Amino acid sequence: MKKILITGGAGFIGSHVVRRFVNKYPEYQIYNLDALTYAGNLENIKDIQKHSNYNFVKGDIVDEVFINELFSIHNFDGVLHLAAESHVDRSIEDPLAFVKTNVIGTMNLLNAAKNQWKNNFEGKRFYHISTDEVYGSLGAEGLFTETTPYAPNSPYSASKASSDHFVRAYGETYGLPYVLTNCSNNYGSYHFPEKLIPLFINNIINNKPLPVYGDGNYTRDWLFVEDHAIAIDLVFHEGKNQETYNIGGFNEWKNINLVTLLCEIMDKKLGRDTGTSQKLITYVKDRPGHDLRYAIDASKINKELGWKPSVTFEEGLEKTISWYLNNEEWLKNVTSGSYKDYYKKQYS
């Protein structure tokens, strides 16, 4: 029996990873460690909370004493580290919060794993889930590869770059067995409606303005979150130690084109006249330091581990929109803040 720690499992991507691991690996005990910040929502994983191989631990990765204790109690065999402050706009408002969780929090986990494993690294693995934003911004041409130099532009990406460097340094200095992945923008169910796609779906439902930053000609490479979870599973089990893999959707969209497509699908689904949602598009002041373009070359993970996205963007977006329309209760609980009561009801 293996004990696996997954951090940030009440968040967007983490909830998909926890669900996959709990369902697919009954032989593992999964420990979901999450501080339940504004982005953590236990409703995201309520379908698996009663499974016998699932354990929830509420706690903050910034708390060094608590993290050391947790490792000494459980002596985890593997760590999948997803807990983070993840929103670029928030990082512009409060960069220090990002340093605390993303840098110090990652350091605490690295130290705890290193000390607990005491140089006996057989069968152990530390997996840091990171972002393509560490590479900075592309111009019109080219793709990020695993050897693209780091050039983070936002406080969020600077904090993730810093934690990536520490993970790599612990591998070099102490021999800690690690894997690292840098993934492009995810979309799908349980996505907190502060990020582009869920925010705009929610605003369309409620006839609210769609705030497009700047001229809308910024490009992102979108990946369906369940495909990211599949890739994470594969890298955790079959990736090579001390390696980085880029993960991406081979799926670039300018924001304004994506938003236009979203408006068209939403009009159809909601039975509204064509063009209704598009009228909600409002160009607003640009994000400071806004990266022009992200695009991933995911050929390494494809060649070495055989991964590629399983759904097209059209399929993934259709599934995502249908999920939000069928789960308005979830959306309402999140936007009203009442999702915070779920922990109290279930665990106290």
> Which residues belong to the active site?
132-133, 156
Q: How far is the CB of 321 from ligand TYD (least distance, A)?
A: 16
Scanning residues 94 to 153, which ones bind ligand NAD (CB under 6 A)? Answer: 101, 105, 129-131
Q: Is residue 199 within the footprint of ligand TYD (CB under 6 A)?
A: yes
Q: At what angle do helices 155-174 and 106-117 cross, to 10 degrees?
A: 10
Coil, helix or strand for 130? strand
- Our CB check for ligand TYD shows the closer of 31 and 98 to be 98
Q: How many CB atoms lie within 10 A of CB 9?
A: 31
- Interaction mask 85-124, ligand TYD, x per CB under 6 A: ---x------------------------------------
CA 156 to chain centre: 13
Q: How far is the CB of 225 from ligand NAD (least distance, A)?
A: 8
- Of the residues 67, 70, 84, 112, which one makes contact with ligand NAD according to CB under 6 A: 84
- Of the residues 218, 250, 253, 339, which one makes contact with ligand TYD according to CB under 6 A: 218
Q: Is residue 13 within the footprint of ligand TYD (CB under 6 A)?
A: no
Size of the site for ligand NAD (CB under 6 A): 31
Q: At what angle do helices 196-205 and 313-326 cross, to 10 degrees?
A: 50
Q: Is residue 244 within the footprint of ligand NAD (CB under 6 A)?
A: no
- Of the residues 114, 125, 220, 228, which one makes contact with ligand TYD according to CB under 6 A: 220
Scanning residues 60 to 79, which ones bind ligand NAD (CB under 6 A)? Answer: 60-62
Q: Residue 58 corresponds to which tokens in the numbers above?
A: 């509420």
Question: Which partner from the list ligand NAD, ligand TYD, none does 255 bind, CB cut-off 5 to 8 Å by kind?
Answer: ligand TYD
Q: Residue 79 corresponds to which tokens in the numbers above?
A: 């760590």
CA 333 to chain centre: 21
**Cβ 119 vs Cβ 175: under 8 Å:** yes
Query: What's the N-to-C CA distance of the chain in angstroms?
Result: 29
Q: Is residue 213 within the footprint of ligand TYD (CB under 6 A)?
A: yes
Question: Which partner from the list ligand TYD, ligand NAD, none does 3 bind, CB cut-off 5 to 8 Å by kind?
Answer: none
Q: Is residue 192 within the footprint of ligand NAD (CB under 6 A)?
A: yes
Q: Among candidates 67, 101, 95, 65, which has minimal Cα distance to 82?
A: 101
Q: Which of these segments, 181-189, 257-265, 301-309, 317-325, binds ligand NAD (CB under 6 A)?
A: 181-189
Q: Which long-range contacts (CB under 8 A, 24 or more apart) does 168-177 make?
A: 168/242, 170/110, 170/114, 170/126, 171/241, 171/242, 174/114, 174/119, 175/119, 175/121, 176/110, 176/113, 176/114, 176/117, 176/121, 176/126, 177/121, 177/124, 177/125, 177/126, 177/241, 177/242
Which residues in this chain contact ligand NAD in the complex, by CB under 6 A? Answer: 7-8, 10-14, 34-37, 39-40, 60-62, 82-86, 101, 105, 129-131, 160, 183, 185-186, 192
Which residues in this chain contact ligand TYD in the complex, by CB under 6 A? Answer: 88, 185, 195-196, 199, 211-213, 218, 220, 255, 287
